[in-house]
Amino acid sequence: MDIFVLFSGGKDSSLSAILLEPFFDVTLVTCNFGFSDTWKFARDVASELGFPHKVLRIDGVVLETACDLAVGDGYPNHAINHIHLCALQSAAGTMPATVASAGVRAFIADGTRRDDRVPMLELPDAQRLEDTYKCVYVRPLLGYGRRAVNLLVETHLEIAEDESEKIEKSDYEAELRAIIEERHGFGMVDEIFPRHVQSRVVRRKDRNMPANG
């Protein structure tokens, strides 16, 4: 069964893909609004992990709306959630249909974890997504807390850490930062996004395990 995993190049979406790998044919999918080429980093990590990779182009109006939300709120949570839901809908609606059984058109997945607050779909929104798009939406890390994720990451991935703006990433924040900087200047970016240590995936440690890529 094919599954399309929303992929930022970060450790959570990488680990999600690794957990799905023995049971599905995994393709990594990175969203891009055509505003800046932030997807390139994810493509490189996908290649390092050994998975096929696609770029999913999403209507720029989603990013515009997210920009307005973030600037209006003064913090990024609603904006990130808005992008994430649109990304899931877009993936569910456009990825090639490969599963015929049980009225399911496609399998999609992401890297959201049990203890995450953003991005995160509430249960009724997850069920609505599945019903509307005849898809199956899987969150392999939803049953894993922070410590479990850290231990699995340590086993399977080599990680580098640095402050947010120094780390090259392909997550939603990357293009959102870019559009806010263009429209409102870097001061606004710095006001909206808390500075915190971010991580990026350097390579996979578990090369003895099978890879689909």
Q: Write out the residues near its own copies by the rule CB under 8 A.
A: 1, 19, 22-23, 99, 101-104, 107, 112, 114-115, 123, 126-127, 130, 136-145, 147-148, 150-152, 154-155, 209
The nearest distance, CB 146 to its own copies, in angstroms, is 9
The nearest distance, CB 9 to its own copies, in angstroms, is 20
**C-beta of 21 vs 173, nearer to its own copies:** 21
Unique residue bearing structure tokens 């947010």 = 164
Which residue, among 124, 80, 92, has the nearest Cα to 5 in the 3D structure?
92
8 A C-beta contact, residue 160 and residue 38: no
**C-beta of 55 vs 126, nearer to its own copies:** 126
| Secondary element (H or E) of residue 173 | helix 172-184
Kindly report the number of other CB atoms within 10 A of residue 139's CB atom.
18
**C-beta of 56 vs 126, nearer to its own copies:** 126
- Cis peptide bond upstream of 52, omega within 30: no
189: exposed, middle or buried (Cβ count in 10 Å: 0-12, 13-18, 19+): buried
The nearest distance, CB 147 to its own copies, in angstroms, is 5
The nearest distance, CB 159 to its own copies, in angstroms, is 15
- Identify residue 173 by its one-letter amino acid code: E
**C-beta of 142 vs 188, nearer to its own copies:** 142
